[in-house]
Amino acid sequence: MSGLNTDTEKILVIGIGNCGRHDDGLGWKFTELVAKHNLGKVDTEFRYQLQVEDSVLVSKYDTVIFADASHSKLKQGFEIHRCKPAAHYYYSSHMQSPETILYLTKELYNKIPKSFTIAIKGHIWGLGTSLSRVAEKNLEKAISFFEKEFFKVAT
């Protein structure tokens, strides 16, 4: 975990999804593994969806990682990219994007934490609590990258 001083940097991983809908639980499973592996001083939270109220939580951290399942084709089975504030809102205040949460954090609390999204490719989306084999492999790749490389990329 070189490159990121976790003794002074407050880090939050937010897992987004629904573990009752097969691979939609990838964000939660990723977050659960981060907590289980005790990767430095990293706090974790679980959400079915992001809400405007999450901006208060995000404002208390230096680095925030949003982890979620993806329907998109991802070359490595997952992708990570910087997340920037964006002023776009969904009709319902109970479903917002990470970019919107960052925008609200900036506007309401004058804080913009260093932020990233981790998208993990899923395969099965119906009712059920297990991950597909494809999703499990993609999750392994994402958590391995996070453990070995993320902290170098985040600086």
pLDDT, one tens digit per residue, over 82-104 is 999 887 765 555 568 999 999 99
CATH of the domain at 111: 3.40.50.1450
- The per-residue pLDDT for 31 is 96
Residue 4 falls inside a structural domain: no
- In angstroms, rounded to a whole number, what is the distance separating the alpha carbons of residues 134 and 131? 8
**pLDDT tens-digit readout, 113-149:** 999 999 999 999 999 999 999 999 999 999 999 888 7
Does the pTM exceed 0.85?
yes
Check residue 118 and report its DSSP letter. Answer: E
Domain count, the chain: 1
129: left (phi over 0), alpha (psi -120 to 50) or beta: alpha
User: What is the four-CA torsion angle of 32, 10, 92, 125, rounded to 10 degrees?
Assistant: -20
Inside any domain, residue 44: yes
Enclosing domain of residue 36:
11-153
According to the model, what pLDDT value does residue 62 have? 95
Residue 124 lies in a domain: yes
CB 20 within 8 A of CB 11: no
Per the domain annotation, does 127 fall within a domain? yes
